[in-house]
Amino acid sequence: MRITKLETIRLRQHANLLWVRVYTDADVTGLGETWFGAAVCETDIHERIAPLILGEDPRRIQHLHRSMHPYAGFFGVGAEMRALSAVDVALWDIAGKLANKPVHDLLGGATRASIPLYNTCAGPDYVSQSADVRPGNFGLGEQQSAQYEDLTAFMEEPAELAASLLDMGINSMKIWPFDFAEGAADGVDISNDDLKRAMLPFEQIRAAHGDKMRIKAELHGLWSLPAAQKICSALEPIQPDWVEDPIWMDRIADIKKLAHSTFAPLAGGETLGGIAQIRELIEQGEIATPIIDVTWGGGITFAHKCAAIAESFSKPIAFHDCSGPITLCSSVHLALSAPNVVEQEFTRGFYYSWYHTLVDQLPPIENGRISAPSGPGLGVHLRDDVPNREDAMVRVTEL
C-alpha cells in the first residue's frame, strides 16, 4: 500500500483552517486538519512533506512521523509542526479505516463511552480571519444576533450565560475578561480598576450559581510574572479550576515561580509542541494541567505520548479545541482513550453554528457529555460540497 496523493483545502470564509486529505492506492483516504497560518502550512505540506511521504506505506505512522519531523522548526507549534500534525491525523484516520475500528480503539480502547464538556465562551466569529488573539479579532459586533455569542454574554450577562450552559448539562466554562484590560496591550501591569472590572463576571457567576458552575480563567499568555501573580491572587477566592496561560508557556522558570506563589492551579501548553517541551512544562514548570493542541503540536502520535507522560506524573491532561471540527473529533478520540482526561473543551458557538456545514457528522453531545462519532477512523468526512465552494482553494501533489 502506498500514499499516492496529498490534497489540501482551505476556505476564505474560515481563513484560519486547513484540511489535508491523504490518498492511497487502496482507495482509502484520511482526513486531517490544522489552523492558523493556513497558507503557510499548505505550502509546507506540498513542498516539504509530500516528497518525504509520497510512495510510502501509510500504515507506518511512527516512521512517517519521524520522517516529517523538521530539522528547523522541530519543536513548538510553528508551520512545520502544524503541517506535520494535519498529515499525522490523516494517517490515523487511514489506519482506523483499514482496521474498521474507531481511532480510540487503536489507542488502547475507550476508557468510557463519553466525557464531560467545558465550554470555551467564544462567539461564532472568534479569531476567524487571522491568528491575532486580541479583542480586535474576537468577532464582536459581527454576528450579535447569532446563537451562542458567548463572548459578549460573559462580558455583559455572565450569570445568564452560566444558566444557559447548566440547562444544557454543561457545568464548566472558560472566560477571559482580563484580555480587555488596558494593561493587556503590553502585559507589564494591570490597574486595580481593570482588575476589579475583570473580576466581575467571575463574581457574578459565583453569586448566582455557587459551586454548580466550574470556572476557568484564560489569560492568553499576555502578562508579565508580577501582573500574573496579581491576577491569580485576585482569582483565588472564586476557586477557579485553573488559570490558563497566565504567562507565555516557554518561560518555564517563571511558571514555576508563579505556581509556588498562588493557590490557583495553573494550566497551559497548547502553544508548545514536541514531547520534550511538554515534559519540561510538567517536570520543571510544575504545571497542574498541561494542555495540548492535537493539530498544532504533532498530531495524534504526539498527543497520545503526552497523555502518557502526564499520567506518569499523576497529572491530568486536556486537549485544546477552539478551531475546527476535525480537531475536536481527534481530541474526543484521544480523551476517550486517555484515563487522565477530566473533560473535553469545545466551543458551542462553533459547534452549533458552522461546524456542521463542513463535515458529514459531528461527535454527538448529550446532557453535557460528548462521545465519538460512529464509523471507523475519525468517523468524520468533509462534506462533498466543501472543495467545490466558490471560496475554496484546492491544491494537489501526487506521484
Least confident of 120-134, 225-239, 298-312, 356-370: 120-134
Element (H, E) at 119: strand 115-120
Q: Scanning the structure block, which residue is given the C-alpha cell 498527543? A: 303
| SS3 state at 268 | strand
Higher pLDDT, residue 71 or 5: 5
Asked whether the CA dihedral 297, 299, 305, 306 is positive or negative, the reply is positive
Higher pLDDT, residue 309 or 130: 309
Q: Are strands 266-268 and 365-366 parallel, antiparallel or unpaired?
A: unpaired
Please give the Cα distance from 44 to 28 (Å, whole number).
Answer: 23
Asked whether the CA dihedral 41, 43, 49, 55 is positive or negative, the reply is positive
Q: Count Cβ atoms below 10 Å from residue 72 Cβ, excluding itself.
A: 6
**Statement: the pTM of the whole predicted model exceeds 0.85:** yes
Please give the Cα distance from 132 to 143 (Å, whole number).
Answer: 19
> Which runs of consecutive H residues, i.e. helices, occur in 100-183?
103-106, 150-156, 158-167
| SS3 state at 102 | strand
Find out whether 220 and 227 touch, Cβ atoms under 8 Å: no
**Predicted pLDDT at 143:** 55
Does the pLDDT at position 142 exceed 80?
A: no
- Chain segment 318-348, per-residue pLDDT in tens: 999 989 999 999 999 999 999 999 999 999 9
Please give the Cα distance from 64 to 163 (Å, whole number).
Answer: 47
Find out whether 232 and 261 touch, Cβ atoms under 8 Å: yes
Does the pLDDT at position 140 exceed 90?
A: no
Residue 145 — pLDDT band, cuts 50, 70, 90?
Answer: low
**Predicted pLDDT at 137:** 87
Does the pLDDT at position 68 exceed 70?
A: yes
Residue 31 — pLDDT band, cuts 50, 70, 90?
Answer: very high
| SS3 state at 84 | helix
Does the pLDDT at position 134 exceed 90?
A: no
> Which runs of consecutive H residues, i.e. helices, occur in the chain?
38-44, 50-53, 61-68, 79-99, 103-106, 150-156, 158-167, 192-209, 225-235, 252-261, 275-283, 294-297, 299-312, 325-337, 348-351
At 134, the amino acid letter reads R
Mean pLDDT for 134-155 is: 82
What are the Cα distances from residue 313, in Å, to 210, 288, 290, 378, 384? 31, 10, 11, 29, 44
Domains plus CATH for the chain?
3-100+382-398 (3.30.390.10), 105-370 (3.20.20.120)
Please give the Cα distance from 67 to 84 (Å, whole number).
Answer: 10
**Predicted pLDDT at 136:** 85
Does the pLDDT at position 141 exceed 90?
A: no
DSSP 314-351: T---EE--SS-HHHHHHHHHHHHH-TT---EEE-HHHH
**Predicted pLDDT at 73:** 86
Please give the Cα distance from 313 to 311 (Å, whole number).
Answer: 5
**Biggest distance spanned by C-alpha atoms of the chain:** 63
Please give the Cα distance from 285 to 191 (Å, whole number).
Answer: 27
Q: What is the DSSP code (8-state) at residue 373? A: P
**Predicted pLDDT at 139:** 87
Backbone angles phi, psi at 178, to 5 degrees: -65, -20
What mean pLDDT, rounded, does the chain reach? 96
Does the pLDDT at position 367 exceed 60?
A: yes
